[in-house]
């Protein structure tokens, strides 16, 4: 890492509950143990470190930092991606916690992408009715979305994240250096969640992306001069929303922009699509739906729909989903967590950074919007 890179951490508070630290060298730096210790607190003696099989070097580095703090570290490797988020894997981790004698003053650390942090948070939420968890996301998606906010969960055959709990972490550590080892396609997929924050709350994000989209999805994306600002802006959007509405009773729903259709695509495709890729198509779908439903009107509305296509396509993210799967997608959407009874609910836009809700649109309207993104 170049000495010219600022290694100081930006501290972003999530209300009065916990902080998200964003910066360079937060895991490998000389003060990594102090940062982790500060997030975990003094009472913790044992840590369950949950990690995927693909980041051995990072796992060893984090284990060493925790041990320098005087903690006993128990490591558990879990499957990569969505395969980690099952009841079977969670039960295995509960068994390990029991055998190791973890108490309410001990903690879980999730090191990995969004699937690992979702799983680690859920296991922490349910062990002894709740122990501390610190999240150390290693993907862009994890940093700006999954690890922040306290939503934890696992999947079932019927849908994504249908089993879960709200369990805010004790802290989140976002070391931007780890993004240099991320496959370019994964980093690009994470940008979909960043762009989402731009559409729902912070249009400066959109301006930053439009200024140099090629650099953000190229081989040097991890060192792009705007990446840190994009991460910090996206985290601030989520932090402000979560602080105002932890349990998704009202405002927090806006963070699901593009997710109802996106989650349906993930389920129908058996999670072979990256989450960000599915959300990318989901945002275009819901923009088209908003226009059909009268939320986006006139030249201004047309321009905002076109901006969805333009930004996402400039990042080489998908904006279309092949036709022929509409009945399956509709069934999957009806099982979405945001549904109320038989009514589907969508987050839509009335304009840039003006989110609204569309409740109970007719099936014909939903299918017309699908026709605009299929083919």
* Annotated binding-site members: 80-85, 138-139, 151, 160, 193, 259, 275
Closest to 42 (Cα-Cα) out of 105, 135, 129, 101: 105
From 35, 151, 308, 316, the catalytic residue: 151
- Residue 106 near residue 141, CB atoms below 8 Å: no
What does the angle CA 138 – CA 250 – CA 310 come to, to the nearest 5 degrees?
A: 55
Q: Verify whether residue 161 is a known catalytic residue.
A: no
Q: Verify whether residue 259 is a known catalytic residue.
A: yes
From 233, 236, 252, 274, the catalytic residue: 252
Indicate the SS3 state at residue 154. Answer: strand
How far is the C-alpha of 88 from the C-alpha of 85, rounded, in Å? 9
Q: Verify whether residue 248 is a known catalytic residue.
A: yes
- The H or E element that residue 164 is part of is strand 159-166
From 46, 236, 259, 308, the catalytic residue: 259
Measured from the Cβ of residue 373, the count of other Cβ atoms closer than 10 Å reads 23
Q: Verify whether residue 42 is a known catalytic residue.
A: no
| Residues of the binding site for Zn(2+) | 193, 259, 275
From 263, 274, 295, 308, the catalytic residue: 263
How far is the C-alpha of 111 from the C-alpha of 106, rounded, in Å? 17
DSSP code string of 184-229: HHHHHHHHHHHHHHHHHT-HHHHHHHHH-HHHHSSTTGGG-TTHHH
| Residues of the binding site for NAD(+) | 80-85, 138-139, 151, 160
CB within 8 A of 95, min separation 6: which ones? none
Indicate the SS3 state at residue 152. Answer: strand
Q: Verify whether residue 193 is a known catalytic residue.
A: yes
Q: Verify whether residue 275 is a known catalytic residue.
A: yes
Closest to 117 (Cα-Cα) out of 99, 89, 142: 142
From 69, 161, 256, 308, the catalytic residue: 256
From 24, 224, 236, 275, the catalytic residue: 275
From 228, 232, 248, 253, the catalytic residue: 248
CB within 8 A of 2, min separation 6: which ones? none
- Kindly list the distances between the CA atom of residue 355 and the CA atoms of 129, 245, 317, 335, in Å, as whole numbers in the listed order: 35, 15, 22, 22
From 193, 266, 277, 288, the catalytic residue: 193
Give Cα 223 distance to the centre of its chain. 21
From 42, 88, 99, 129, the catalytic residue: 129
Phi, psi torsion values for 177, nearest 5 degrees: -60, -30
- Residue 301 near residue 288, CB atoms below 8 Å: no
Where in the sequence numbering do the catalytic residues fall? 129, 151, 193, 238, 248, 252, 256, 259, 263, 275
């Amino acid at each position: 890492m170049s000495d010219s890179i600022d290694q100081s951490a930006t501290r972003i508070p999530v209300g009065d509950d916990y902080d998200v630290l964003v910066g360079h060298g937060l895991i490998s730096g000389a003060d990594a143990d102090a940062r982790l210790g500060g997030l975990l607190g003094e009472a913790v003696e044992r840590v369950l470190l949950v990690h995927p099989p693909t980041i051995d070097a990072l796992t060893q580095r984090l284990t060493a930092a925790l041990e320098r703090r005087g903690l006993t570290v128990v490591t558990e490797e879990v499957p990569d991606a969505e395969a980690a988020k099952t009841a079977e894997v969670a039960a295995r981790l509960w068994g390990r916690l029991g055998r190791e004698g973890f108490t309410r003053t001990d903690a879980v650390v999730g090191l990995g992408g969004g699937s690992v942090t979702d799983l680690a948070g859920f296991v922490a939420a349910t062990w002894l009715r709740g122990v501390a968890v610190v999240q150390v996301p290693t993907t862009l998606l994890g940093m700006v979305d999954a690890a922040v906010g306290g939503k934890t969960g696992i999947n079932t055959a019927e849908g994504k994240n249908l089993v879960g709990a709200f369990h805010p972490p004790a802290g989140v550590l976002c070391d931007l250096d780890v993004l240099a080892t991320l496959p370019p396609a994964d980093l690009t997929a994470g940008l979909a969640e960043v762009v989402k924050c731009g559409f729902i709350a912070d249009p400066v994000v959109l301006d930053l992306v439009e200024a140099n989209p090629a650099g953000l999805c190229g081989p040097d994306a991890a060192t792009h001069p705007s990446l840190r600002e994009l991460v910090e802006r996206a985290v601030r959007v989520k932090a402000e929303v979560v602080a105002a509405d932890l349990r998704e009773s009202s405002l927090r729903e806006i963070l699901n922009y593009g997710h109802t259709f996106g989650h349906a695509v993930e389920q129908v495709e058996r999670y072979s699509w990256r989450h960000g890729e599915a959300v990318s198509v989901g945002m275009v779908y819901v923009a088209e739906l908003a226009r059909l439903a009268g939320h986006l009107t006139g030249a201004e509305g047309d321009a905002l729909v076109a901006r969805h296509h333009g930004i996402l396509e400039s990042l080489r993210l998908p904006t279309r989903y092949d036709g022929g799967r509409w009945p399956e997608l509709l069934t999957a959407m009806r099982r979405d967590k945001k549904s109320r009874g038989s009514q589907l609910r969508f987050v839509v836009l009335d304009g840039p950074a003006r989110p609204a809700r569309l409740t109970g649109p007719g099936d014909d309207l939903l299918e017309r919007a699908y026709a605009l993104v299929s083919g």
